[in-house]
Amino acid sequence: EAGVTQFPSHSVIEKGQTVTLRCDPISGHDNLYWYRRVMGKEIKFLLHFVKESKQDESGMPNNRFLAERTGGTYSTLKVQPAELEDSGVYFCASSQTHRANYGYTFGSGTRLTVV
């Protein structure tokens, strides 16, 4: 089966610009997660979709971040306007159930650099 796909793999933007990251989960996986890793820090949870609904968005850092999953398929994460501290690697993962013990499948991540 195809894995979790993220696009773009790298993005370099200037402070104040807008960037949209995309994640295509494994087909049939209702659960989709966004995580972020700032350099040298842990991988931090951002939010969790079940189909098109936001189940948990407690990790979203502020209102400059907007995640959507229209139709319950792919998801986008928009950062507007981007700030320097938003630089990092953004990971997406999907799973069939919400229970983590069944494991998540991760994408390769999008490396975002804000200059």
Partner 1 sequence: AQSVSQHNHHVILSEAASLELGCNYSYGGTVNLFWYVQYPGQHLQLLLKYFSGDPLVKGIKGFEAEFIKSKFSFNLRKPSVQWSDTAEYFCAVSGNTPLVFGKGTRLSVIA
Binding site for partner 1 (CB under 8 A): 3-4, 33, 35, 40-45, 48, 56, 91, 93, 99-101, 103-104, 106-109
Comparison of 19 and 107: residue with beta carbon closer to partner 1: 107
What angle (nearest 5°) sits at the alpha carbon of residue 113, between those of residues 112 and 114?
120
Comparison of 27 and 41: residue with beta carbon closer to partner 1: 41
Comparison of 28 and 40: residue with beta carbon closer to partner 1: 40
Q: How far does Cα 89 stand from its chain's mean position?
A: 9
